[in-house]
Structure 1
Amino acid sequence: MTVESQTRTTDREDIAKRLLRSSAKASFDPLVEIDWDAPVDTDRYAIRPERVSLYGTDLWEMLTEEQRKELSRQEIASLASIGIWFETILMQMLVRHAYDRDPTSNHIQYAYTEIADECRHSVMFAKLLGKLDAPYYKLDPVAQFLGRVFKAVSNGPLTFSGALFVEEVLDQLQREIMADESLEPLTRAVSRIHVVEEARHMRYAREEFARDWRKRGPLVQHYSRFVLGLVVYYSATRLISPKAYERVGLDPRKARRAARRNPHWIDTKTWAARKVVETLDRAGAISGPGRHLWRKAGLLGRRGSGSPAASAPSTAGPEAQRA
């Protein structure tokens, strides 16, 4: 079966026109839409407890209920930090994508629209960090360096497959958060805005990746698979900063080691990445050495395990559904 028959795409200008129309109808200013003066409800989890990276481990059992809830807030802050990191990379890649293309086209006008969305999202995540009494969890020097290289040398398939990966993983977690009324209200409000607007971004990335990927020769595809594997590995293994564990009194090295071996956390990452894995695997973008990196990052499930962690159905609302 050919890639064309596996991944159907819409006319580039037509889909961009529809996404522009959707952006005009359902875009948000987080500074206005969210009540930033409301206090954070520390009696609630910020994310479902079973999604916390240490859930089910001996370290989890050692924590008090208050510490567990604080860890959930710090892990949300860590996810927001990596969101800022990658959105900054993505904005630069989108500018490069638009640089030598026709700005009068719907396709490039939507690229500019997405850049504006990502600017607002980065500000929203930064304000969330402050409300959660959390630092900006900056990545380690190796990941920072590789991110700088990636944004400078990425080709079309890498730009859009990398964007799709990070956006899909965060989207799955946030869809669950926004639909769960038992969770902390501020994190639910932030998740709702991000889910609605990222639905358009993922449609744009999914189609542009498929359109560009099928044009590339074997050499570029082999190169892209490996570099994508590196991007995925360094992103997925740094979703939770070791310093987040330190904030609740845990030894960061011991806690990080426990999380990386935790079957519940591996299942959560596999569940969160399942849609992007299906999309990219179907296109032939996850194979060879790159596939090993996906598995090592805990995104292809545990060897010998059953299905990935199950999740309650998520409701993203009509705005996200239409995009």
Structure 2
Amino acid sequence: MTSSTARDHAAPSQPDRQEVADRLLRSSEILSYDPVREVDWETPLDTAYHGASPEWSTLFGTAYWDEMTPEQQRELTRQEAASVASTGIWFEMILQQMVLRDFYAKDPTDPAFQWALTEIADECRHSIMFARGAKKLRAPAYRPRRLVVELGRVFKTVASGEAAYAAILVAEEVLDVMQRDWMRDERVVPFVRTVNNIHVVEESRHMKFAREETKARLEGAGWLRRQINAVVVAGASYFIVTSMVSREVYENAGLEPERAVREAKRNEHHKSMLRSSCSGLMEFLGSAGLLTRASLWFYKRANLI
């Protein structure tokens, strides 16, 4: 989730914004987690488990997957889960900066201000949790390509209003569907299931706020503004989603990287999983006027539609 500067766009109506923020603050008080205590960090990694549901692997359903031993399959899903976690850290650092920029020097008695700080605290805990989880999965520090890192630097500096909220929402929704599957799957190593459960519960509040802010910021928006922001959101979404699984995971899982990348790019099963995970999101973007002919090009390239 992220936010925008007040000077760029009109703020959401104050009573509605305060009501949503108050409700989210109450929910956070009732149901929040401390990953340091909730996650089993001490038990050694059991390599008899997957790191993620096999069906979400980028190679599941390919000839290469069928040739792999069960041990290789499990190792691949562990490396892929660690890559998704590392990408999540990169992304959460972007949104934390955007939220701080938005609420700088604003009224601290406003529930929205207090919710923003609550969300930042959540994201800090999530990033540490993901970092510890990736280490426990015996994975290196996966990072997006240098170009994507620099584009992210620009995005966090200039994105505002509905462009910022909606782009963050795309990443959160895709990850949410993925992790809901992983947290229920008994084939997945228990500590990863706990990590996913914590993230799903707490991110549901962030997604609620992002949706409400996106709709509010678009009230009264003209055709040109919607067209421009639709492309910005779609472009950001493309780079976020395509950065989730680093190509380095294949070498670290003991596979042939070139072949693995080729088969992953042609994997219709994985493309179908991504599209199904985004059906509700695309319906929301369409209702908000953020699905345009130009933006569809990016979503199709990212296999989100």
Q: TM-score range by the shorter chain?
A: over 0.9
CA contact (8 A) 2:167 2:234 kept: no
Match runs of 1:78-227 below 5 Å: 78-99=83-104, 101-227=106-232
Per-residue CA deviations over 1:234-284 (Å, capped at 9, x if unaligned) read: 112222100001112223233122112100110111122222212112211
Pick one of 28, 37, 60 that aligns with 1:32.
37
Q: How many corresponding residue pairs?
A: 292
- The 3-state SS of whatever aligns with 2:132 is helix
TM-score by length of 1: 0.87
**Which moves more between the two structures, 176-185 or 25-34?**
176-185
RMSD: 1.5
**Which moves more between the two structures, 137-146 or 175-184?**
175-184
Alpha-carbon distance, 1:90 to partner: 0.6
The match for 1:251 is 256
Per-residue CA deviations over 1:62-119 (Å, capped at 9, x if unaligned) read: 2111000000100100110110011000101111221253221111110111011000
The separation in 2 between residues aligned to 1:257 and 1:45, in whole angstroms, is: 23
- The 3-state SS of whatever aligns with 2:135 is helix
CA contact (8 A) 1:270 1:298 kept: yes
The match for 2:246 is 241
Alpha-carbon distance, 1:214 to partner: 2.2
- Unaligned runs of at least 5 residues, structure 2: 1-14
- Unaligned runs of at least 5 residues, structure 1: 1-9, 301-323
The match for 1:42 is 47
- Runs of 4+ in structure 1 displaced over 3 angstroms? none
TM-score by length of 2: 0.92
Alpha-carbon distance, 1:130 to partner: 0.7
Alpha-carbon distance, 1:58 to partner: 1.6
Alpha-carbon distance, 1:183 to partner: 2.0
- The 3-state SS of whatever aligns with 1:11 is helix
Identity %: 44
Per-residue CA deviations over 1:16-61 (Å, capped at 9, x if unaligned) read: 1010011111111111111200122211222221111101112112
The match for 1:290 is 295
**Which moves more between the two structures, 60-69 or 174-183?**
174-183
Alpha-carbon distance, 1:220 to partner: 2.3
Q: Does 1:21 align with 2:33?
A: no
Distance 1:228 1:39, change over 3 A: same
**Which moves more between the two structures, 86-95 or 246-255?**
246-255
Alpha-carbon distance, 1:233 to partner: 0.9
The match for 1:271 is 276
**Which moves more between the two structures, 96-105 or 35-44?**
96-105
Per-residue CA deviations over 1:154-195 (Å, capped at 9, x if unaligned) read: 011122111111111111111111122332101101001101
What amino acid is the match of 1:49?
P
Distance 1:263 1:200, change over 3 A: same
Q: Does 1:64 align with 2:75?
A: no
Alpha-carbon distance, 1:289 to partner: 1.4
CA contact (8 A) 2:51 2:137 kept: no
Alpha-carbon distance, 1:222 to partner: 1.6
Alpha-carbon distance, 1:13 to partner: 0.6
CA contact (8 A) 1:91 1:118 kept: yes
- The 3-state SS of whatever aligns with 1:127 is helix
**Which moves more between the two structures, 99-108 or 84-93?**
99-108
